[in-house]
Amino acid sequence: MPDKPTWCGHLDEVTRTLRDLPDPWVDRATLQGLLGIGARRAQQILAPCVGRRIGANGVADREAVIARLHQLATGETRHYEHQRRNRFAEYMDALYRDRREGVLVAAPANIVNQEFKGLPAGVSISPGRIGIRFESATEALEKLLALAMAIRNDELLFERLATGTK
């Protein structure tokens, strides 16, 4: 989806320029050049304001064009802000999902689904203290991983065990 149209950012300048025009009528080419947009978009913006025809071309009263531009800018600003907020919310949801669902290391299924009641012998949690007894570095890593997975699977229980709250 493209960014908000650039002319929305300098609408006050566009308004001043339109009011400084010697003729009170605005045509497609003038609007196109002033806003830096294509002919089709200029025609789309101008169409609801056309009050007079000169040959095949329509012209609109400058105040009607100014009012239309302000209306569009307000609507488009709201639209693009809504899109920006939705993209941000989706990004945050994805980060949260990745955090909750993502496994950073490969582990056997029994470790991935680890619960506190089935922690290996030698792993203990009490208020303000976590204990791990081990005989080898590999055993220490296995017990740490089991504890980490149990915490991931039930953060509220971990908080209660670690703080002594009910």
**CATH number, domain containing residue 32:** 1.10.10
Sign of CA dihedral 142, 144, 147, 153: negative
How wide is the angle at C-alpha 66 spanned by C-alphas 60 and 70, nearest 5°? 135
- Give the mean model confidence (pLDDT) for residues 76-102: 77
The domain in which residue 77 lies consists of 6-99
Identify whether 104 is part of a domain.
no
- Give the mean model confidence (pLDDT) for residues 146-156: 91
Question: Which of the listed residues 52, 70, 99 is the one where a domain comes to its end?
Answer: 99
Rounded-to-5 percentages of helix, strand, coil across the chain: 65, 10, 25
Overall pTM > 0.85: no
Identify whether 120 is part of a domain.
yes
pLDDT band of 40, cuts 50, 70, 90: very high
Identify whether 12 is part of a domain.
yes
- Give the mean model confidence (pLDDT) for residues 18-28: 92
- Give the mean model confidence (pLDDT) for residues 33-47: 90
Same domain flag for 13 and 72: yes
Q: Are 94 and 17 in contact (CB under 8 A)?
A: no
Identify whether 58 is part of a domain.
yes
- Give the chain's length: 166
pLDDT at 1: 41
Identify whether 138 is part of a domain.
yes
Identify whether 42 is part of a domain.
yes
Provide the domain count of the chain. 2
Sign of CA dihedral 118, 124, 129, 133: negative
Same domain flag for 18 and 64: yes
pLDDT at 57: 82
Identify whether 38 is part of a domain.
yes
* DSSP one-letter code for 56: T
Question: Tokens in use for 58?
Answer: 């329509």
